[in-house]
Amino acid sequence: MPIKTNLEDLRDRKLKFGVEIQLVSRAYFAPEILQDGMIRVFPWDTEVTSWTLRRMRQPRFHAYIADLAQKLADWKDVDILRVPIGDINTVNLVGRAMAYPSPVHYHYNCPHCPHVGTEVIKVPDALERKAEKPADYPGWDETILLDSQDEVRFRPMEVRDLIDVEERSEDSKRVIDDTTFNVCRQVVAVGGGTPTDMEEVVRWYRALSPSDAQQLLEDQKEAHPELETRIAYRCDACDGNFHFTLDFNTSFFRPDSPRRTEGKAPEVVRPGVEGGGADPGPDQPAG
């Protein structure tokens, strides 16, 4: 006897429950393929969970978050290596949020008092679109360094950058630290001149004043298109202000559910920062 279901629509859940979102970068890296930055995101489901559990046992964390984003959205023919990290995080956050009834309830521990509060948040609607790019974005931002007055063009950090950081040799890491490597990778022009190779950029970067070097690092972070996951809150009990950072390790991604089976999920990766997305600020609740 064939199954008797109450479902009237037997299309795949990816088609039925996927949502269209606009990437904060407007997909400048593939404007013909993802027009106006629109992409279809699929809900994180049991297939993704079981894939995640297998994949987590392998090394190469940054390649993993890109692989995950490929499972959670219809990227069509986009070269995933060219996608900014902010867009990868957006897709993973939205796909993960879609696994649960929306808006999602999560718990916070107030850093000022013993109160454990509950908040609701709607992803992505409640998250600020940081450094959103216009339709005519050329693929780079520009800044003038205060000390040297050097005019620097830099592009957003993309998947290829993180993978290169991860896969470079120990010898290379001894010569160039990860932060310098990341900052220099993103530089596309200085004073209108295009660098001939990475060494040239590194030599220039190391010759900058400490404050110019810091400024470039911060300007790159500031210009990165992404959803702002650091959210300001006020405690219900003591009125204390604090910030809560949504990442894959907060209770946002651990909603109380008796059917939950997934293991440790990845952190959101922050552009311009080595390693994962832990926010070490004193106002970070124990998440």
Structure tokens at 224: 């990165």
CB of 244 to Zn ion, least distance (A): 12
Q: Does the protein bind Zn ion through residue 111 (CB under 5 A)?
A: no
Q: Which is nearer to Zn ion, 50 or 118 (CB)?
A: 118
Q: Does the protein bind Zn ion through residue 240 (CB under 5 A)?
A: yes
Q: Does the protein bind Zn ion through residue 15 (CB under 5 A)?
A: no
Among 13, 238, 241, 274, binds Zn ion (CB under 5 A): 238
Q: Which is nearer to Zn ion, 27 or 110 (CB)?
A: 110
Residue 135's Cα: distance from chain center in Å? 21
Q: Does the protein bind Zn ion through residue 223 (CB under 5 A)?
A: no
Q: Which range touches Zn ion (CB under 5 A), out of 107-115, 140-148, 216-224, 278-286?
A: 107-115
Q: Which range touches Zn ion (CB under 5 A), out of 148-156, 187-195, 238-246, 261-269?
A: 238-246
Residue 271, Cβ neighbours under 10 Å: how many?
A: 23
CB of 277 to Zn ion, least distance (A): 24
* Geometric angle at alpha carbon 272, from 270 and 276, rounded to 5°: 40
Strand partners of residue 118: 107
Q: Does the protein bind Zn ion through residue 244 (CB under 5 A)?
A: no
Q: Does the protein bind Zn ion through residue 115 (CB under 5 A)?
A: yes
Contact indicator for 227, 271 with CB cutoff of 8 Å: no
Q: Does the protein bind Zn ion through residue 235 (CB under 5 A)?
A: yes
Residue appearing with tokens 């900014």: 84
Q: Which is nearer to Zn ion, 117 or 255 (CB)?
A: 117
Q: Does the protein bind Zn ion through residue 242 (CB under 5 A)?
A: no
CB of 241 to Zn ion, least distance (A): 10
Q: Which range touches Zn ion (CB under 5 A), out of 20-28, 146-154, 229-237, 263-271?
A: 229-237
Q: Does the protein bind Zn ion through residue 112 (CB under 5 A)?
A: yes
Residue appearing with tokens 């894939």: 51
Instruction: Give residues in contact with Zn ion (CB under 5 A).
Output: 110, 112-113, 115, 235, 237-238, 240
